[in-house]
Amino acid sequence: MTERVVLAYSGGLDTSVAIGWIAEATGAEVVAVAVDVGQGGEDLNVIRQRALDCGAVEAYVADARDEFATEYCMPALQANGLYLDRYPLVSAISRPVIVKHMVRAARQFGAKTVAHGCTGKGNDQVRFEVATTSLAPELTSIAPVRDLALTREKAIDYAEKHDLPIATTKNNPFSIDQNVWGRAVETGFLEDIWNEPTKDVYSYTDDPTFPPVADEVVITFEQGIPVALDGVAVTPLQAIEEMNRRAGAQGVGRIDIVEDRLVGIKSREVYEAPGAMALIAAHQELENVTLEREQARFKKGVEQRWGELVYDGMWFSPLKKSLDTFVADTQKYVSGDIRLVLHGGRATVTGRRSEASLYDFNLATYDEGDAFDQSHAKGFIEIYGLAAKQAAARDERFGNGPDFGVGTL
């Protein structure tokens, strides 16, 4: 039986050419796998037929939008997943679900190798290949661009020579990856980090400089998951899509960042994630109301490590799974309503309410009805500061007391 290779197929020029390119370079038959994670564009049936027309022996297509939103975006929301405190892991969380379907297709069609269109400089090669070996250690991976010398110029020439049913152009200045959680744009003039993004960089968001009238939305959460918008029940996918629309209209979620890639280089990336950033802002504030102080403080460190692991392609790693368990436990009481005002590029929290709230008005108020016994404060401070007081006294005994020179106090 002829060897088979499963190819992550987008329907674009590079992966369409890769079908024949892989076949010629390896002698293997190619099975194209197209996974819809909310990137928009063409119908899956059109993509299926194009893959077959470009030489694939089989075409596996999957509508994974609900799966992606529920099993990947929602854990990212519960973890407040932000790499470098800013990037909501748009591409990073989509790779594991794509790989899951690639592994399924490999077993269905008897393939021993999977292929992807990544270069040797980016993060996605790691995400695809580590996820593959984590789910199916017996599979090997190849990358036509990295391993088989497929450049864009060669792809265009190949497509024209073989009359492939795909548009060829050398004019697109950007590399774009998008899904329902957001959109990532890089390369072209953006590689000069002094250059300001032009209007044509953006698609998911309108210019926040000239916003429409402010939009107020109430987001209802149950255990860290949005379940209703303005009282109307929604699925995770519907929540993201609707917040993309409403927050995007206000220019919320534009991110321009120089980030540290896993391979060791810095990269300038422009992201649009209106729904993700608005939902994360609301979720973080609901956690402020419902998480106990020490639990909340510890979760901040977990969130950072969780985001680094996901960014670095370790979605299926043992540590990531352990952190998932911790994050899920913290969400037990993260239920309630958050009121957001979307306007001029900002998602501003203006109201919070929760049956599980740890905010006690009678303890917090300075007015009549104050239930806090202030007589306890003096003794608390004495005990709280005792260790520091003892250390300061020792410093004095050894001549290492504070310097009260001019300008120090």
Do 264 and 157 sit in the same domain of this protein? Answer: no
Q: Are the C-beta atoms of 36 and 65 separated by less than 8 Å?
A: yes
Residues marked as catalytic:
14, 95, 124, 175
Closest-CA residue to 232 (of 244, 243, 248): 243
Res. 172: pLDDT tops 70: no
246 is in an annotated binding site: no
Beta strand 215-222 with 225-229 is antiparallel
Do 252 and 125 sit in the same domain of this protein? Answer: no
**DSSP state letters, 122-187:** SSHHHHHHHHHHHH-TT-EEE-HHHHS---HHHHHHHHHHTT-SS---S----EEEEETTEEEEES
335 is in an annotated binding site: no
Q: Are the C-beta atoms of 322 and 302 separated by less than 8 Å?
A: no
Which of 175, 196, 220 represents a domain boundary (last residue)? 175
Inside any domain, residue 402 = no
Res. 171: pLDDT tops 70: no
CATH number of the domain at 109, please: 3.40.50.620
337 is in an annotated binding site: no
> What pLDDT does residue 133 have?
97
Domain that holds residue 88: 4-175
> What pLDDT does residue 170 have?
65
Domain count, the chain: 2
> What pLDDT does residue 397 have?
94
| pLDDT tens by residue, 225-242 | 999 999 999 999 999 999
Do 99 and 199 sit in the same domain of this protein? Answer: no
Res. 333: pLDDT tops 90: yes
Which of 158, 175, 192 represents a domain boundary (last residue)? 175
Tokens of 59: 């075409």
Inside any domain, residue 390 = no
Which of 314, 332, 353 represents a domain boundary (last residue)? 353
Q: Are the C-beta atoms of 17 and 126 separated by less than 8 Å?
A: no
CATH number of the domain at 312, please: 3.90.1260.10
140 is in an annotated binding site: no
Q: Are the C-beta atoms of 177 and 183 separated by less than 8 Å?
A: yes
104 is in an annotated binding site: no
